[in-house]
Amino acid sequence: MTYWFRSLASTWSYRGMVRAISERDLRARYTGSVLGPLWLILQPLAMILIYTLVFSQVMQARLPGTQSGAFGYSIFICAGLISWGLFTEICQRTKGVFLEHANLIKKVQFPKLVLLVPIVVVALFNFLVLTLLYFVFLLLIGAWPGWAILAAIPAVLTLAVLALGMGLLAGVLHVFVRDVGQIIDISMQLLFWATPIVYPISILPEAFKSLIRLNPVVAPITQLQQVFLAGQIPDYSTLAYPLAVAAVFLALALWCYRRLFSEMLDYL
């Protein structure tokens, strides 16, 4: 625990580096692109439209709560896909953080875990942009949940911490076994369908509900859907399990990192 506190303190000391890497990542993502930052919106929008067209009529009547009318499924799937995007971006970027910055790690002396901060900053920035557009959509269709939106913050933070723990462990192992990157990609696809993003958990048989709740991503995403679809304050006790899983991943990742760091330098 003290190691994490020291890392946080050193992050402030290296805030210039964090800012420079974050700005570089945001610029590099859209350099040479005709549409530029519009791709941030177009990619998730395309997914939302596809899933809405394919599943809307099937799932509409099965959503928990009917106060959102014809736009209920759109509200439901937007909340799920936007939050899933935050989770996957942090996890996917973190898994390759040491390989991506290999030259910097070998040539410059600084706390290497500082490199995680720009990943989270950029992911939260992208998430914020999409969320603001989502808010505009909710206002236009008259489905604004009011101050209940603040109740979504713990679920968002839980997703970010969970993704960081899983990604950091994968990032350390990825240095030694390059297959880890491909395994994570496949696992993310499986995890997506094992999470009630395009379908409500209420349609599943009881046996499957118990099984699917073992997925730590389910609770925070379900809470976000509950807030925006029904305007309800969620039961925060359900976040205890994903936070515990996140703590285990972070502790294991940190143990592997500290134990294997000298060997990592040889592999980079």
3-state class (DSSP) for residue 68: coil
Kindly state the tokens that stand for 226: 């509950």
pLDDT at 267: 78
Q: What is the amino acid identity at position 197? A: I
Angular region, 45: left φ>0, alpha ψ -120 to 50, beta rest: alpha
3-state class (DSSP) for residue 33: coil
What CA–CA distance (Å, rounded) separates 253 from 173?
9
Rg (CA), the chain: 19
Q: What is the amino acid identity at position 133? A: L
What CA–CA distance (Å, rounded) separates 194 from 141?
30
pLDDT block averages, 10 residues each, the chain of length 268: 58 74 74 64 75 66 56 83 92 90 81 86 88 86 83 93 94 90 90 89 83 92 87 87 94 90 80
What CA–CA distance (Å, rounded) separates 156 from 130?
13
What CA–CA distance (Å, rounded) separates 223 from 154?
9
Kindly state the tokens that stand for 103: 């030259």
Q: Percent helix, strand, coil in the chain (nearest 5)?
A: 80, 0, 20
Overall pTM > 0.85:
yes
